[in-house]
Amino acid sequence: MRLFLVLLVSLLTMVGCAKNEPVAETKKSADEPLKQYSLKGEITRLDAENKIATIKHEQIGDWMGAMTMEFPVKDAADFAKLREGKHIQATVNVQGLNYWVANVQDAVEHAAEHPSEPAKK
């Protein structure tokens, strides 16, 4: 009986350890649902080595207000479309704490608004 208890305790300990493996940190963002927002802004700086664009952007849905910040651009073809001073529209993918820009296009003139876009909360 005592042997059984010892085995049970060590088994439980192992299970406990397995649960606490450091997978949690990387898993967190990947498990989050992917959200997509449309972005409009002007490229103010490009870091070709790290494929990071600094974009002075307008309000991005309910994600963030207008500001200038750096965005990773994962796709090389998208990054190749970027020029400093250029106005673009694109999609911002947001997943947990990660975000990146995709679907880069030349900005459409200001007349085109987004009346069909529902207010998401």
DSSP conformation letters of the chain: -HHHHHHHHHHHHHHHHHHT-THHHHHHHHHSPEEEEEEEEEEEEEETTTTEEEEEE--BTTTB-SEEEEEEB--HHHHHT--TT-EEEEEEEEETTEEEEEEEEEPPPTT---TT-----
Q: How far is CA 6 from its chain centroid?
A: 47
The bridge status of strand 87-95 relative to strand 67-72 is unpaired
Smallest separation (angstroms) from Cu ion to the CB of 68:
8
Rule CB under 5 A: choose which of 42, 56, 64, 86 binds Cu ion: 64
Choice between 97 and 111, CB closer to Cu ion:
97
Residue facing Cu ion at closest CB distance: 69
Choice between 67 and 80, CB closer to Cu ion:
67
Rule CB under 5 A: choose which of 9, 67, 80, 112 binds Cu ion: 67
Rule CB under 5 A: choose which of 6, 8, 11, 69 binds Cu ion: 69
Q: Does 66 bind Cu ion (CB under 5 A)?
A: no
Q: Does 24 bind Cu ion (CB under 5 A)?
A: no
Choice between 78 and 94, CB closer to Cu ion:
94
Q: Does 52 bind Cu ion (CB under 5 A)?
A: no
Q: Does 48 bind Cu ion (CB under 5 A)?
A: no
Which chain residues interact with Cu ion by CB under 5 A? 64, 67, 69
